[in-house]
Amino acid sequence: MQLFIDTAEIDEIKSLNITGLIDGVTTNPSLIAKSGKNIINTIEEICNEVSGPVSAEVTATDFDNMILEGKKLSSIAKNVAIKVPLTFDGLRACKVFSDDGIMVNVTLCFSAAQALLAAKAGATFISPFIGRLDDIGADGMNLISEITEIYDIHGYDTKVLAASIRSVQDIVDSAKLGADVATVPPKFLKSMYNHPLTDKGLSDFLSDWKKTGQSIL
């Protein structure tokens, strides 16, 4: 399973990218606004830091302007994936971009029917928002299961990108259900390698080692 970091903060990206565990980055208008930076400059900075896919979202809602914005964003770097909403115009734009060999991340997916259309439109990634479904009492993991089943049966190449992650367990459950990617806020990525028993075990080992008076170096 690939892990994308869900942020537009370049310092956070740099600090986590040095681990070699980051496969890509996702951004959206809300994250760009939170960073307080120019969208073009931000995407360019991220693409210079990360070699994997970097999702950059259009802000237009009509087809013509989605195409114009998408072309401008895709010109920043070869690893830009144009992010479009799962609307009629978004799917039209997805087809145009995918036919031109441009990666597309179709976002704001909340049903398997929507995911089927995105795959038919040539989406590189489909982003089901599992956390937002859970927030309204629906089952986000069931959506992941339905999409992966449909894609496997019909041989679609579109990758399932679990989005709107609410916990580390969401990442684990998505992986178990066959999601190809999870896009993860930095705080959850850091939580993935933290465990109190790991800390205790390490403390015990170091305490025992200190008693020997030895040094490896």
- Which residues form the catalytic set? 83
Buried b (16+ CB within 10 A) or exposed e, 168-197: bebbebbbebebbbbbbbeebbeeeeeeee
Q: Please, are residues 23 and 181 in contact by the beta-carbon 8 Å criterion? A: yes
Nearest to 145 by CA among 186, 112, 110: 112
Q: Please, are residues 7 and 186 in contact by the beta-carbon 8 Å criterion? A: yes
Nearest to 28 by CA among 11, 46, 15: 46
